[in-house]
Amino acid sequence: MLNNQLILYSTTLNAPLPTIPQLINTLQTLQFIAQPYSSSQQLNYQVGEQFLNLITFLGCSPVIHTDPTHSDPATLCYLTLYPPFQTPLFLKSPHLKHFRCPHCRHSSQHWSSLLQAWEQDKLHFHYTCPHCQTTLPPQQLNWRHQAAFTRLILLIHNLYEGEAVPNDSLMTHLKQHTHNDWDYFYTQHLSTQLPNPPFTE
């Protein structure tokens, strides 16, 4: 069964991140998340009252299941927070094919060789566009909402690409409250790529 996921992520790699309690406080203040499911699932949250106003739904009348007591877990829309990663991770959609230079829009499919070079020196590696010679860190390339370089993510289950987009109000509030820049991408089964399981104590 596919678990389509919309991931909000901090693009801040070299500066302080919000702590998990700070992030929870911000998200609850926005009413983007409500309460955790249970004491045994501390980082899984039901959607908050403003969730449907902070995500723009595309198309006509999408059916979003948000009630954990009445929804099939396979379709339930809920959120999972993860502890910040010790070092930046590259996370991607299985559909990632190419990325673009943000200056000249040159497209490249060689993301795996870029990744190998980045792994050697995550904080200092810069990519040079073969077309316009612009040099920039890989997180500033255009990954077309299909990949991320990040140390902090917020995972929203069972929303998929083409269905839902975080709106400007949400992204602006996140930036203001956490002093981090945020972006988003779409994937499936992201948890298989993550080193740290959510807290379950």
* CA-closest candidate to residue 157, choices 24, 51, 59, 85: 51
Q: Give the containing element (helix H, strand E) for 56.
A: strand 55-57
Closer residue to Zn ion in complex, CB, 2/132: 132
Give 111's contacts (C-beta < 8 A, 6+ positions apart). 92, 96, 98, 99, 147
Closer residue to Zn ion in complex, CB, 31/134: 134
Closer residue to Zn ion in complex, CB, 142/196: 142
Longest dimension (CA), the chain: 54
Write down the least CB distance from residue 147 to Zn ion, Å. 18
Structure tokens at 22: 């700070």
Write down the least CB distance from residue 142 to Zn ion, Å. 10
Give 170's contacts (C-beta < 8 A, 6+ positions apart). 30, 32, 54, 55
Closer residue to Zn ion in complex, CB, 95/131: 131
Residues 47 and 44: their CA atoms lie apart, in Å, by 10
Write down the least CB distance from residue 100 to Zn ion, Å. 8
Write down the least CB distance from residue 60 to Zn ion, Å. 38
Structure tokens at 118: 């980045």
**Contacts with Zn ion, residue ranges (CB under 5 A):** 101, 103-104, 106, 129, 131-132, 134
Write down the least CB distance from residue 109 to Zn ion, Å. 15
